[in-house]
Amino acid sequence: MTTTSVTVTLENFNLSHVPVYIMSEEQLGMYATYMATLGNRPDLFPGSGYIGKYVEGSYTDYDIPPEALDDEVFAAIIKEAEKYLGYPYVWGGSSPSTSFDCSGFVSWVINHSGWDVGRLGAQGLCNICTPVSSANVKPGDLVFFTGTYDTPGVSHVGIYVGNNMMIHCGDPISYAT
């Protein structure tokens, strides 16, 4: 008789994590678009707290160091990103019409600043980036976080703007340290 030992590791997640494990990147993009409209359609959800909230929220502002704007790539990124300061956080949001979540915001900014990466989640964005040391970080680099909520891997992303500051989709989109 042969005895085999098997070790199984279980992770307990709520249902919001299910799509990440069962959908392709393309399907996740479509799902995010679908989810982003929930509560954001005045014709369907007249009592939604997000209707009319865009650009009305208070946010932390920041003056970009002038020398950082000499980099044309970064200047294009920050020009696009700053259009959405004050927009609220909306889970799955990925466009100005729906507002954004963190990865939807970064994906939108990147895609409208000269690249075409599609709609990626925070982990997907991390997967296509080349890591750099904190000593070599420069404005326009992406900053990734783990453990900001109960999910494996990268859970938040922002865009580094210099002087230990980033622009990101918190609630609302703003600058943060």
More confident residue, 47 or 7: 7
pTM score over 0.85: no
**102-111 and 72-82 helices, crossing angle to 10°:** 130
pLDDT tens, 108-155? 999 999 999 999 999 999 999 999 998 999 999 999 999 988 888 999
Residue 52: CB partners within 8 Å, gap ≥ 6?
none
Q: Please state which of the ranges 25-34, 74-83, 145-154 shows the lowest mean pLDDT.
A: 25-34
% of the chain at pLDDT higher than 90: 56
Give the CATH superfamily of 15-176. endopeptidase domain like (from Nostoc punctiforme) (3.90.1720.10)
Beta strands in the chain (DSSP E): 94-95, 99-100, 142-146, 154-162, 165-169, 173-176
Q: Where are the domains of the chain?
A: 15-176
